[in-house]
Amino acid sequence: MFPVSGIYVALSALLMLVLAYRVVSSRLKNNVGIHDGGLPQLAVAIRTHANLLEHALPVLLLLMVAEANGAPVWLLHGCGIVFLLARLLHAWGFTISEGGTHSGRVYGTMVTWLVMLVLIVTVLVRSVALLGA
């Protein structure tokens, strides 16, 4: 069971749905069935959604493994909350800058990577410890 990481899986999925809705509504509005139709706004919506998916999968898997390996609840919640905030910040910055450089995009990426690194170390340390037990 994954009571803590389950919260962040569900909230990440909710954010994915919101970003997917932006893609679909832009496709319908502009009558574009595939790719971005050469429309920068649609290209940004597609990449914003894809970027979340690219980062959410490893982070959420690491969060679940950390939870299964007995990581402290405070660490799991801390990583989950910070990850979601970082992804919101990235999506906002990416959208505002229309794919260009923006502090929200930069800091959202850096914080996401930091959370991923914390979870990688946590999983490695706890996994090695469990092997020795």
Compute CA 82 distance to the chain's CA centroid, rounded to the nearest angstrom.
10
Give the whole-angstrom CA distance, residue 5 versus residue 65.
9
- Please work out, in degrees rounded to the nearest 5, the angle formed at the alpha carbon of residue 28 by the alpha carbons of 23 and 29: 95
Each residue's pLDDT expressed in tens, for the chain with a length of 133 residues: 999 999 999 999 999 999 999 999 999 999 999 999 999 999 999 999 999 999 999 999 999 999 999 999 999 999 999 999 999 999 999 999 999 999 999 999 999 999 999 999 999 999 999 999 7
Could you tell me the residue range of the domain that residue 44 belongs to?
Answer: 3-132
- Please work out, in degrees rounded to the nearest 5, the angle formed at the alpha carbon of residue 18 by the alpha carbons of 13 and 21: 120
CATH number for the domain harbouring residue 42? 1.20.120.550
The number of folded domains in the chain is 1
Structure tokens at 66: 């950390």
What are residue 74's phi and psi, to 5 degrees? -60, -35
Give the whole-angstrom CA distance, residue 8 versus residue 4.
7
Q: What spatial distance separates the first Cα and last Cα of the chain, rounded to whole Å?
A: 22
